């Protein structure tokens, strides 16, 4: 999905439209097509939201799998599990 499509979906969630390249084909007589400024502003907003969660995307591959985490808790206790999780959180802190 293009940035334009994501922005329009965020602005007009139930609207019907198509995007080919940078052209928008508006198919929804019940909803007003957003302006180019509204779309561009929403793209900037969505990008900022995405960028703000980079730490989550960085952490994800470093966490052990859920079965491995449960095994750690069972064999070593919750405090040892917390140490493993905290190491990842410390490596990729929340902004």
Q: Yes or no: say if 27 and 14 are a contact pair by the CB < 8 Å rule.
A: no
Q: Yes or no: say if 8 and 1 are a contact pair by the CB < 8 Å rule.
A: no
Q: Provide block-wise average pLDDT over 10 residues at a time, the chain (95 residues).
A: 92 95 92 96 97 97 98 98 98 94
Check residue 1 and give its pLDDT: 72
The closest alpha carbon to 62, from 40, 84, 77, belongs to 84
Check residue 2 and give its pLDDT: 81
Distance CA 66, CA 25 (A): 44
The widest CA-to-CA distance across the chain, in whole angstroms, is: 61
């Amino acid at each position: 999905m293009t940035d334009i499509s994501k922005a329009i979906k965020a602005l007009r969630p139930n609207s019907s439209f198509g995007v080919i390249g940078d052209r928008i084909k508006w198919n929804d007589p019940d909803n007003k097509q957003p302006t180019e400024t509204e779309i561009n502003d929403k793209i900037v907003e969505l990008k900022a939201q995405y960028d703000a969660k980079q730490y989550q995307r960085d952490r994800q591959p470093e966490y052990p799998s859920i079965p491995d985490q449960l095994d750690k808790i069972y064999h070593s206790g919750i405090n040892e599990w917390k140490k493993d999780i905290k190491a990842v959180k410390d490596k990729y802190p929340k902004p």
